Amino acid sequence: MTFEGIGVFEGLAKHIERRLKERAFCVVFEDEIERCWSRKDLEDTERREQIQAFAESHGWSVSIHDFESDRVGAIFLPF
């Protein structure tokens, strides 16, 4: 999944929206999360809060999981 030509947040939101129309949830893995919320720029708590705020601003809930030591996944669900 790449978001060339549009903003990364808008691209991610459109991707999640499309997936939620097809199924009950959308999983987004670390490589895509990193494009929007860089570990270099954000502390873990702030990063999670921003992902949560992003989800809520689009009418979704999100569950954030650490799958491996440095691999995070976010599971987005409609409210």
Please tell me the total count of domains within the chain.
1
Answer for the pair 19, 26: CB distance below 8 angstroms, yes or no. yes
Kind and range of the H or E run holding 45: helix 44-57
Note the pTM of the prediction, 2 decimals.
0.85
pLDDT for 76 beyond 90 = yes
Q: Does some domain include residue 52? A: yes
Q: Does some domain include residue 39? A: yes
pLDDT tens digits, one per residue of 24-71: 999 999 889 998 999 899 998 999 999 999 999 999 999 998 766 667
Per-residue confidence (pLDDT) for residue 39, from 0 to 100: 87
Residues 13, 69: Cα–Cα separation, whole Å: 26
Q: Does some domain include residue 25? A: yes
Per-residue confidence (pLDDT) for residue 12, from 0 to 100: 95
Higher pLDDT, 4 or 44: 44
Q: Does some domain include residue 58? A: yes
